[in-house]
């Protein structure tokens, strides 16, 4: 079966711009979580959506937002980009929240570079 698909794979943006990243979960998975990964901070939890509702949120500023559609696809948006937002953004899907017994399946990520 198809895995978790994230688009685009690479992105270069300028400070002050906004960006939207997309994640298509595995068919049948209703939970989508987003993580930011940087060399200094490692994997940091952004938020989790389940059935179009945000279930949990990490400690990120309001510039980071997300949403989930009725087909479980999810988008995350970062407004007013800062250099420090340069990172690998990972999406993970699961059947139920918190990964559940089967754990998360991660996508390959979107590498965002802010210049």
Partner 1 sequence: DAKTTQPPSMDCAEGRAANLPCNHSTISGNEYVYWYRQIHSQGPQYIIHGLKNNETNEMASLIITEDRKSSTLILPHATLRDTAVYYCIVRLDDKIIFGKGTRLHILP
CB-nearer residue toward partner 1: 51 or 80 = 51
CB-nearer residue toward partner 1: 33 or 74 = 33
CB-nearer residue toward partner 1: 30 or 55 = 55
Residues forming the site for partner 1 (CB under 8 A): 4, 33, 35, 42-45, 48, 55-56, 58, 90, 92, 97-99, 101-109
Q: How far is the CB of 45 from partner 1 (least distance, A)?
A: 5
Q: How far is CA 42 from CA 37, 59, 70, in A?
A: 5, 14, 31
Q: How many CA atoms lie within 13 A of 74 on its CB side?
A: 36
Q: How far apart are CA 96 and CA 69, in angstroms?
A: 16
């Amino acid at each position: 079966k198809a895995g978790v698909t994230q688009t685009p794979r690479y992105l270069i943006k300028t400070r002050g711009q906004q960006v939207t990243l997309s994640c298509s979960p595995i068919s049948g998975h209703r939970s989508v979580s987003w993580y930011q990964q940087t060399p200094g901070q490692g994997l940091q939890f952004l938020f989790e959506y389940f059935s179009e509702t945000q279930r949990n949120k990490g400690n990120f500023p309001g510039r980071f937002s997300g949403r989930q559609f009725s087909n479980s696809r999810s988008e995350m948006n970062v407004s007013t980009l800062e250099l420090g937002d340069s990172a690998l953004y990972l999406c993970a899907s699961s059947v139920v929240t918190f990964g559940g017994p089967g754990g998360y399946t991660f996508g390959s990520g979107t590498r965002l570079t802010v210049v």
